[in-house]
Amino acid sequence: MSKEIISVKNVSFTYRDSKKKVLNNISFTVNKGEWVSIVGHNGSGKSTLTKLLNGLLIADDPKNSAIYIDQLLMSENNVWKIRDKIGIVFQNPDNQFVGATVEDDVAFGLENRNVTRSQMLKIVPEVLKEVDMLPYKKTEPQNLSGGQKQRVAIAGILVVNPEIIILDEATSMLDPEGRNEILSIIRQLQKEKDITVLSITHNIEEINKSDRVLVLNRGNLLKIGTPDEIFAEKTLIEEAGLELPFVYQLKEELKRRGLQIPGSIKTEEELVDYLCQ
Amino acid sequence: MSKIIIGRYIPGNSIIYKMDPRGKILASFLFIAIIFLANNWITYSILTIFTLLAVIATGLKPKNFWDGVKPFIWIIFFTALLQLFFSSGGKIYWHWGIFTLSSYGLITSIYLFIRFVVIILISTVLTVTTTSLQIADGLEWILTPLKYLKVPVAEIALVMSIALRFVPTLMDETVKIANAQRARGADFNDGSLIQRAKAVIPILIPLFTNSLTVALDLATAMESRGYQENHVRSRYRVLKWSKYDWLNLGYFLLLTLLLMVFRTK
């Protein structure tokens, strides 16, 4: 189970027209099937990190740093093989819709891999069904809601069976309903297909539900750990510009008023049960 | 305004809708070429009848076609009038200064009028029954031979389909920006010509930067989904040539033959 799928070693990155390092000597690993949230202030290097992972950007100093995706070293020869393994859902649902209709868009990844048409005709409806968008097969993007467009984007990366899905603030432009829909679809897929999910997010509830959290601040990796470990460190949370989830806030407030709640309680249901006792 | 459909495709179900866009585009080109074969009243009547039959075959309301002709009405009348008063020959009915009303002028101006109207009607039949995407696909097929001249046809086709996909998105964006500027007091409908031209700047500049952002985002998204330039790609959308398309081409070939037979030497 706990097979390493992403391994980042000593990676730094500087954009060409600036002197400041966007990422500073970052190392971490992610296991297969994990859900890892990446958090941090605006401009802390989160999006840059995801672009490094699929080779859209190349890290500084390639001799001393390395990125491995599923045992493959990121290099010019491997970059397309690595992109086959990683699917990214970007922030703006409008700007990542390539096709003129839903099915065209979903087929785009298959077209790029030169899959035959008869196979595409089989795969596309199957994948659209998984994200519950089959009735909209022929619809044009301007007639879809933001949440539906993001579901199409997910379908667009699922057609090529990625090992890793990266959500680059994929739900930040959606309404709460759309956000929950997208997250529950991805959670289900993660379980069914043992997909690894990296999610850049500011949404505290999503962070709370992830397996591990990676905290970035001004290009430095502050900590990587379970949500519990992260939420326990108050200074860390402040530095990363985060808020505590509602349950933790309530626990803090109760503690201040003299009621100790055990650390094992992490969800609203557990807290409700505990308080009723 | 957000519902602008380019080429003004009107959904329908008649036989012309089932035709392949390649056939329709080729037939329209052929039609414009053969229109100049007509040179007497028999050929012009044949032309008119064939055009009207095509219009009827679309099964759409006459109003749609009137909308197609309307923007050109002044050009049509203007050229027809010039033809009417400035050509001499045949019987002269009326003469004053440089103006002459002759039987020759009368006939040529009627021919010119018919020629104009049928061209517009046939191109309206094409755009009204074919989605812009189908037209792009059809054009791609027609451009394919240019591959041998090293023209990047596949890239051009991708550019066309992305451009068409973004027309409604950018339209929406334009409306939003215009409304946002209006909310801050911009006035787009008043003032002199220069003032109005200046008022467009607060729309154009955000729209321009916006399009560049979209382009960058889209390029990133395309690349991370495995798009490589100059790489062999398969196609999901394909065009199918059916019996209707033979009917379509046959129709216009028959028209060509009839025109050739009945034209005066």
B interface residues, A as partner, C-beta within 8 Å: 133, 161-162, 164-165, 168-169, 172, 213-214, 217-218, 220-228, 231-238
The 3 state secondary structure assigned to A103-137 is HHHHHHHHHHCCCCHHHHHHHHHHHHHHCCCHHHC
C-alpha–C-alpha distance, residues A189 and A167, integer Å: 14
Q: How far apart are the first and last CA of chain A?
A: 37
> Chain A partners of B233 at a C-beta cutoff of 8 Å?
111-112, 114
CA-to-CA dists, residue A266 to A35, A229, A250, angstroms: 17, 12, 11
Q: ipTM score here?
A: 0.84
Q: What is the pLDDT of residue B4?
A: 39
Q: How confident is the model at residue A223 (pLDDT cuts 50, 70, 90)?
A: confident
| pTM, 2 dp | 0.79
Overall size of chain A counted in residues: 277
Closest-approach residue (CA) in chain B for A88: B224
Taking residues B66-74, report their average pLDDT. 84
Residue B204: its pLDDT value, please? Answer: 92
What pLDDT is stored for residue A1 in this prediction?
A: 46
Q: Please report the pLDDT score of residue B89 as a whole number.
A: 66
List the domains of chain A with CATH numbers. Answer: 4-244 (3.40.50.300)
Average pLDDT over residues A39-47: 85
Look at residue B90 and tell me whether its pLDDT is greater than 70: no
Q: What's the mean pLDDT in A214-233?
A: 86
Q: Mean of the pLDDT values across residues B164-185?
A: 88
Find the radius of gyration of the CA atoms of chain B: 24
CB neighbours of residue A252 within 10 Å = 14
pLDDT of res. B118: 92
Q: Which residues of B9-30 are buried (b: 16+ CB within 10 A; e: fewer)?
A: beeeeeebbebbbbbbbbbbeb
Q: Tell me the pLDDT tens digit for each residue of A136-184.
A: 988 888 889 888 999 999 999 999 999 999 999 888 888 888 888 889 9
- Name the pLDDT band for B134 (thresholds 50, 70, 90): confident
Distances (CA, A) of B57 to B43, B44, B68, B248: 21, 20, 17, 11
Closest approach of B127 to chain A, Cα-based (Å): 18
Contact indicator for B54, B262 with CB cutoff of 8 Å: no
Give which of A22, A28, A39 is closest to A200, Cα–Cα: A39
What sign does the CA torsion over A56, A57, A58, A59 have? negative
Written as six digits, the tokens of B182 are 């209006």
Q: Which residues of A touch B225 (CB under 8 A)?
A: 83, 87, 98, 108-109, 112, 156-157, 160
- pLDDT of B2 above 50: no
Residue B5, pLDDT > 70, answer no
pLDDT value of residue B6: 41
Q: What's the CA gap between A64 and A53, in Å, rounded?
A: 16
pLDDT at A6 over 60: yes
Helix (H, G, I), strand (E, B) or coil at B113: helix
Query: To which residue do tokens 């044949």 refer?
Result: B46
The whole-number pLDDT of residue A120 equals 92
**A2 pLDDT more than 70:** no
Residue A191: pLDDT over 50: yes
R_g (Cα) of chain A, nearest Å: 20
| A18-32, A178-192, A239-253, B152-166: least confident range | A239-253
Q: Average pLDDT of A245-260?
A: 81
Q: What is the pLDDT of residues B184-227, one digit of tens each?
A: 888 888 878 888 888 889 899 999 999 999 999 999 999 989 88
Contacts of A68 by beta carbon, 8 Å cutoff, 6+ apart: A4, A6, A7, A8, A9, A74
Q: Does residue B262 carry a pLDDT above 80?
A: yes
CB-neighbour burial class of residue B211 (10 A; exposed 0-12, middle 13-18, buried 19+): middle
Confidence category of residue B52, pLDDT binned at 50, 70, 90: very high
Evaluate if residue A207 carries a pLDDT over 70. yes
Mutation pick from A77, A86, A98 vs chain B, by most beta carbons of B within 10 Å, is: A98
The nearest CA of chain B is from the CA of A202 a distance in Å of 21
Contact B221 A98 (CB under 8 A): yes
Burial (CB < 10 A; 0-12, 13-18, 19+), residue A236, is middle
**Measured between beta carbons, which residues in chain B are less than 8 angstroms from residue A138?**
none
What pLDDT band is residue B1 in, cutting at 50, 70 and 90?
A: very low
- Residue B145 to residue B151: CA distance in whole angstroms: 9
Residues A266, A208 contacting (CB under 8 angstroms): yes
Q: Which residues of A touch B (CB under 8 A)?
A: 51, 54, 56, 80, 83-84, 86-88, 90, 92, 94-101, 103-104, 107-117, 120, 124, 140-142, 156-157, 160
Nearest CB partner across the interface for A88, out of B224, B233, B237:
B224
Q: Average pLDDT in the B94-114 region?
A: 82
Q: For all residues of chain A together, what is the average pLDDT?
A: 86
The 10s digit of each residue's pLDDT in A48-80 is 888 889 888 888 877 788 888 888 888 888 888
Name the helix (H) or strand (E) containing A228.
helix A227-232
Q: Which of A95-104, B3-12, B31-40, B229-238 has the lowest mean pLDDT?
A: B3-12
Give residue limits of the domains in chain B. 15-130+242-262, 143-225
pLDDT above 50 (res B74): yes
